[in-house]
Chains A and B, each alone.
Chain A
Amino acid sequence: MHTGTGIQLLDDKLGGGFARPSAILLFSDHPSEKRLFAEQFLMAGVRGGERCLYVDFFRAPQLARRDLSKFGPTHGDDIVFVDATSVQLLIPSSEPYTIRDMDDLGHIMETIERAIRETKPARVVVDSMEFLADRFPKEDVLGRWRHLLEVGKEAGATVAYLFLNWTYGQAEVERIEDMSDYIVEFQSRMRTGVLQHFLRIRQIRDGTVKTNWIPYTFKELVGLTVYFPRILVTGPFNAGKSTVVRALCKDTVSIDRMGTTVAFDYGNLEIMGFEAEVFGTPGQERFDFVFQIFAREVNGVLLVLDGTRPEDAPRARQIMELVGRDTPLVVLANKADLPGSMGDADIRGHLNLGPDVPIIHTIATQGEGLTAALRTLAEMIVGVR
Chain B
Amino acid sequence: MTQESRIDARGPRVSPLALREQIEDAMRDLRRLGDIVAIAIARRDGLIIAHDLPPGVDPKKTAAMSAAIVGTSEMAGRELGQGKFLQVIVDSDEGKILSTGAGEEALLVTLVRPEANMGLVLLGVERAAQRIAVLLSGD
Contacts and interface: CB of A to CB of B under 8 A. Distances in A.
Given A187-B9, A326-B2, A328-B3, A194 B49 contact: yes
Interface stretch (A85-93, A116-124, A292-300, A367-375): A292-300
Interface in B1-58: 1-4, 6-9, 11-12, 16, 19, 23, 41, 43-50, 58
A171 interface: no
Contacts of A229: 47
Contact of B47 (A194, A327, A381): A194
Given A190-B12, A193-B49, A289 B19 contact: no
Interface residues of A, number: 39
Interface residues of B, number: 37
B128 interface: no
Contacts, number: 90
Contacts of A213: 1, 6-7
Given A29-B9, A327-B2, A383-B3, A192 B43 contact: yes
Interface in A177-208: 187-195, 198
B60 interface: yes
Contacts of A299: 1
B65 A253 contact: yes
Contacts of A191: 139
B68 interface: yes
A212 interface: yes
Contacts of B8: 189
Nearest to A268: B60
B91 interface: no
A100 to B, nearest CB: 36
Nearest to A187: B7
Contacts of B43: 192-194
B7 to A, nearest CB: 4
A187 to B, nearest CB: 4
B72 interface: yes
Given A253-B65, A266-B60, 12 more contacts: A189-B8, A192-B136, A193-B43, A212-B3, A251-B58, A266-B64, A268-B60, A289-B75, A293-B68, A299-B1, A326-B4, A327-B2
Contact of B23 (A193, A293, A297, A328): A193
Contacts of A268: 60
A81 interface: no
A192 B106 contact: yes
Interface of A: 29-30, 187-195, 198, 212-213, 229-230, 251, 253, 255, 263-264, 266, 268, 277, 279, 289-290, 292-294, 296-297, 299, 324, 326-328, 381, 383
A273 B2 CA distance: 22
A192 B2 contact: no
A167 B85 CA distance: 49
B131 to A, nearest CB: 13
A292 B49 CA distance: 20
B51 to A, nearest CB: 11
Contacts of B23: 193
A187 B16 CA distance: 14
A296 B11 CA distance: 21
A266 B68 CA distance: 11
Contact of B44 (A253, A289, A293): A293
B67 interface: yes
A192 B4 contact: no
A190 B64 contact: no
Nearest to A190: B12
B127 interface: no
A30 B46 contact: no
Given A192-B139, A193-B106, A297 B45 contact: yes
Given A193-B106, A229-B47, A253-B61, A289 B11 contact: no
A263 B68 contact: yes
A319 B44 CA distance: 21
Contacts of B136: 192-193
A268 B58 CA distance: 11
Contact of B1 (A193, A279, A297): A297
A213 to B, nearest CB: 6
Contacts of B75: 289
Nearest to A194: B47
B2 A289 contact: no
Contacts of A294: 45-46, 64, 67
Nearest to B61: A253
A293 B7 contact: no
A195 B16 contact: yes
Interface string B74-117: 01000000000000000000000000000001100000000000
Given A187-B7, A187-B9, A253-B64, A193 B19 contact: yes
